[in-house]
């Protein structure tokens, strides 16, 4: 949403744009597990209309469990929920590590989603996953075409090398689409959640964001 806003209002007020695990190309060469929705669309397997007509607002557990299930089928056990609970058991029972509190807080955050508005879900699936309109320059908001080349402000684009929700190809393409001269693509050794809440986040991500924003925010 922030990228689309910046493209529609290049004159401001956006001064700097930080994209964190932001998918832009939903049908890259390596789409990742969630990108398989696009392949399913081409074969007519998934129809978001049926889900919206059945539930109205899509229940939070349907969206969240699908994402976790899709990602979990392709990533190694060490980085899945199974691996996470194994690590928790080791630290809590054997090592008595207080970091378990942080782990439980992250689990609580992941499991406390809210229902996804039905019409927004329909448009999200159709326009982004199915038709990939954002990359093609075919997406319109209130009658105005979203052209990412209109983004002129400094951009820091951050992605995780182990992110199965937003794989690198979905985020990296942004660098070729925006019109900014001042732009940086930062790849960190982390997954989707780990980008924001992990040792990598504490030691690398947030310091990098601070040092990037500081001289550009005066």
- Supply the pLDDT for residue 152: 95
Cα(33)–Cα(46) distance, integer angstroms: 15
Map out the domains of the chain with their CATH numbers.
1-25+142-218 (3.40.50.1820)
Query: Of residues 49 and 35, which shows the higher confidence score?
Result: 49
> What is the mean pLDDT of the segment spanning 124-137?
90
> What is the mean pLDDT of the segment spanning 139-165?
95
**Low-confidence winner among 28-42, 67-81, 142-156 (lowest mean pLDDT):** 67-81
Cα(42)–Cα(132) distance, integer angstroms: 12
Could you tell me the CA-to-CA distances from 100 to 44, 195, 202 in Å, in that order?
Answer: 43, 18, 17
Q: Could you give the percent of the chain with pLDDT greater than 90?
A: 45
Query: Of residues 83 and 183, which shows the higher confidence score?
Result: 183
Tell me the pLDDT band of 64, cut-offs 50, 70 and 90. low
Could you tell me the CA-to-CA distances from 163 to 18, 23, 34 in Å, in that order?
Answer: 17, 11, 11
> What is the mean pLDDT of the segment spanning 115-135?
90
Tell me the pLDDT band of 39, cut-offs 50, 70 and 90. low
- Supply the pLDDT for residue 59: 85
- Supply the pLDDT for residue 112: 74
Distance between start and end Cα atoms, the chain: 25
């Amino acid at each position: 949403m922030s990228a689309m806003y910046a493209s529609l209002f290049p004159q401001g007020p956006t001064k700097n744009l930080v994209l964190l695990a932001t998918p832009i190309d939903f049908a890259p060469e390596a789409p990742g597990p969630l990108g398989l929705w696009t392949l399913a669309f081409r074969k007519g397997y998934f129809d978001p209309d049926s889900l919206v007509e059945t539930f109205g607002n899509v229940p939070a557990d349907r969206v969240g469990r699908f994402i976790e299930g899709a990602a979990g089928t392709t990533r190694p056990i060490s980085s899945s929920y199974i691996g996470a609970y194994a690590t928790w058991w080791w630290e809590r029972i054997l090592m008595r590590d207080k970091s378990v509190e942080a782990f439980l807080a992250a689990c609580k955050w992941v499991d406390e989603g809210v229902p996804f508005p039905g019409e927004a879900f329909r448009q999200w699936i159709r326009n982004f996953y199915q038709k990939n309109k954002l990359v093609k320059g075919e997406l319109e908001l209130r009658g105005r075409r979203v052209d990412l080349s209109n983004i002129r402000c400094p951009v820091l684009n951050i992605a995780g090398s182990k992110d199965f929700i937003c794989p690198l190809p979905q985020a990296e393409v942004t660098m070729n689409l925006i019109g900014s001269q001042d732009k940086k693509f930062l790849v960190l050794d982390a997954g989707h959640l780990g980008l924001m809440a992990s040792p990598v986040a504490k030691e690398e991500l947030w310091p990098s964001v601070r040092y990037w924003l500081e001289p550009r925010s005066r």
